Amino acid sequence: MGEVLILGAGMMGSAFSFPLADAGHTVRLVGTHLDRDWISSLRETGVHPKLKMKLPESVIPFTHDQLGEALTYKPDLIVLGVNSAGVDWAVQQLGPLLKTPTPTLMLSKGLRARNNTLQILPDIVRDGLAGYGINQVPVGAIGGPCIAGELAARRHTSVVMAYSDATVLERILPLVVASYYHARPSTDIIGVEACAALKNLFAIAVGYSAGLLERLGKASNGALMHNLAAGLFTQALAEIGPLVSLIGGAPASVHGLAGTGDLYVTCQAGRNSRLGYLLGRGLCYSDAKANYMAGDTIEGAELALAIGPTLENLFQQGSLRRTVLPLAAAIIDAISHDLPLQLLWEAFHQNLAI
């Protein structure tokens, strides 16, 4: 079978080795400079300390300084399992070592602001590698509801794989087929990647409902706040659509696995929802981050900080109407300006178009 290299030995990068190994591939799992203890554990016991699972026998761990050695096996596919903040680092590591434009698949989720617009991370990687003389690298992405622990436990998981080139997609998709890992094809890489990034931002708002419930308590009849959570979930989808369209993605992706599916699973648990919970309790972002989540990378908050200024510029220029994105604007105010998260329900129901 094939050779696959995964760069990033965190939970998702390591979990992704399961379907690849079960499909018959040899997987070379290369940790980042932050993953050295995890790589040591894998070498000693085969068990990933965060996943709490033994990785398949065909997964071979490497430290980040052994990336060149891992690449000598000429992988058929490179998978980036770093977080969004590590994408530039990954390009800097791969660029000097790559000899050919090897197809690359991103598990990383995020958007970047560039030239007063938003850009998906696969474009950042492709352009970054071109700077090292590795041109026309096919860079795709995986989106959809996928919790790393469930994937490592071989629970049934449905995702969408996106490449802009259908012929590349047809070649790469069969590499990840496993009995429990179900990947659908898409050529809407902008829509898939934008949805995958934006769900982290909006999961903060949905998590807010749990914190508000704790702050205010149950009603006298025992009523909770499921109505609030559902309303915020629906508003999030209504705003992901215009943002996806803004950067050239297809609306259909919003209502598929990359949008609705991924938002749903992200709202069930995780760091973005936990931050929302803390904001719902009345904390400001700086307090929540410093005192409760100091060691956590919160992808939704990182995204708000990365794209907030660009969205605010577009609001001021009139290129984008704040009234179309009241929830996104509220989240950006809460994160970028350290303000209390305020839900403007009247604005949610104006039903305005972009």
Pairing type for strands 47-48 and 53-54 reads: antiparallel
Supply the mean pLDDT for the chain. Answer: 94
Q: Are 2 and 136 in contact (CB under 8 A)?
A: no
CA 195 → CA 31, 269, 336, distances in Å? 27, 18, 21
Q: Are 173 and 185 in contact (CB under 8 A)?
A: yes
199 is catalytic: yes
Closest CA to 6 of 146, 134, 106, 92: 106
pLDDT digits (tens, 9 = 90+) for 112-147: 998 888 999 999 999 999 999 999 999 999 999 999
Question: Residue 350 — very low, low, confident or very high, per pLDDT cuts 50/70/90?
Answer: confident
The answer, as to whether pTM is greater than 0.85, is yes
Catalytic residue among 99, 109, 199, 218: 199
CA dist 95 and 98 (Å) reads: 6
Where do the domains of the chain lie, and which CATH numbers do they carry? 3-187 (3.40.50.720), 199-348 (1.10.1040.10)
The residues with which 118 forms a beta bridge, in sequence order, are 113
Tell me the mean pLDDT in the region 161-173.
97
The answer, yes or no, to whether residue 351 has pLDDT greater than 60, is: no
